[in-house]
Structure 1
């Protein structure tokens, strides 16, 4: 029953009008590339949203335990306040990540965000009730908030693990490559300072040659699987980067380092070796 409901949610095109409008709002409000990279977690090498949610989740869960114990009202109230305040940066990071997802992912993400917003409202009401001396009402609202937040967390898990939102889509490509060294071809045939694509088995690999050094990375963008081989190149030499044509994630060609989001992690790279002018690659 739950799986069928989630499946229908993924296909609920009726949500697209709200989703598309909200996506435009988020992108217009947070225009700074530096701020977007900060919230995506590009500087961290890992999506920031799941890191930030630990504070409110931990505070709310702890408050629920203390509410079940006698004489812990003050401590529980403090935790509710901390969790409510800590939810703001987590929400900001979540919306920035959400704005760069596909439509079916945004549908689930929209309901996930709605559930969490309702839960946060209940916690704010719980905090207000506790501060005004209505501890019984505060506990009821707190447990109601925790229940709805749990439903939101379920949707967040589905979004991440079933739909692959903010997971590195390039990592699975590495697993499909042969473990032993595989010959790619003559190094001299590769253009200097310009990325090129070669296929190993059925996996596309992006190669970048600088002199006698060649870097190899998975060609499928880690963010949403876009074709990096069709992206623009910015910069030159060791600082040259490839820009994904789908969502603009930018990776340094010499080592796969993520320079700009929405990708939150580096692009998977492969080992390379050159013997008698022939390039071979292998998994890391």
Structure 2
């Protein structure tokens, strides 16, 4: 209960916005295009940050074990160096993801970043101490760093499991669609490379036509459930795409494939067919 109370305070700590809001704008202005997509993990199919953060954490935890054993100073020093160096790309990917978070998780994320920065600083100092022969001090600094990054990991997990940051938030919506075929709209209502929003019960579905192909996808963006039905249709590499009006995630209308982040997974699509002039959809 104590931990939960502290986390709730962080979520509501609007004083953090004095730093977080301008920092978010600076990051969004400075990180653009292919660099931004690469750091999000669009090419990988899921967020890059949680994948590559395993390298520094694994190296540092391994170093902690070796530091507890006799005559393992050299190996532990190598691992501390590997962890500290590999933290750099993990930090870059983390800040990139943070810049697209909503207010409450962004506040927690700011403290998450501070804890990790303290940890990286302590590990950097530990590496210097080890390389200058002071292994005792190096071990002490490293254990302090391990405590800091463990706190950072706890806060990072809260961002994911409390706010679903980085997960495909459209997938649970897709799972609410009943089995069987469902009427969406009349085929003649669809213009080429145009879209409309239909509903299966209360589930909004984005319907579009590219040539003779009709695509139906979950209308709520997988990144933060933005309304794709309100998004602009643009051309990207010769394909018609819809842009989420909230954070700019871009999906190809023909198949729901993600072409620009911050979303990293394709938008869930349904099977479609034309039955007596009516577009119908069913779970894939």
| TM-score category, normalised to shorter length | over 0.9
Correspondences of 1:73-222 after superposition (within 5 Å): 73-222=73-222
CA apart distance, 1:189: 2.8
Q: Is the 8 A contact 1:108 1:155 kept in 2?
A: yes
Q: Secondary structure of 1:168's partner?
A: coil
Q: Secondary structure of 1:195's partner?
A: strand
CA separation of 1:28 and 1:235: change in aligned 2, threshold 3 A: closer
CA separation of 1:20 and 1:236: change in aligned 2, threshold 3 A: closer
* Alpha-carbon separation, structure 2, partners of 1:61 and 1:237: 44
Partner of 1:46: 46
* Alpha-carbon separation, structure 2, partners of 1:28 and 1:236: 21
Partner of 1:23: 24
* Alpha-carbon separation, structure 1, partners of 2:236 and 2:117: 45
Q: Is the 8 A contact 1:250 1:259 kept in 2?
A: yes
**Superposition CA RMSD, Å:** 1.5
* Alpha-carbon separation, structure 1, partners of 2:237 and 2:121: 51
Q: Secondary structure of 2:124's partner?
A: helix
Q: Is the 8 A contact 2:213 2:254 kept in 1?
A: no
* Alpha-carbon separation, structure 1, partners of 2:238 and 2:274: 19
CA apart distance, 1:236: 8.4
Q: Secondary structure of 1:240's partner?
A: strand
* Alpha-carbon separation, structure 1, partners of 2:187 and 2:207: 10
Partner of 2:34: 34
CA apart distance, 1:136: 1.0
CA apart distance, 1:275: 2.7
Q: Is the 8 A contact 2:167 2:223 kept in 1?
A: yes
Q: Secondary structure of 1:90's partner?
A: helix
Segments of structure 1 that go 5 or more residues without pairing to the other structure are: none
Partner of 2:266: 266
* Alpha-carbon separation, structure 1, partners of 2:108 and 2:237: 42
Q: Report how many residues are paired.
A: 283
Q: Which TM-score applies when normalising by structure 2? A: 0.96
CA separation of 1:238 and 1:29: change in aligned 2, threshold 3 A: closer
* Alpha-carbon separation, structure 1, partners of 2:30 and 2:94: 14
Q: Is the 8 A contact 1:252 1:258 kept in 2?
A: yes
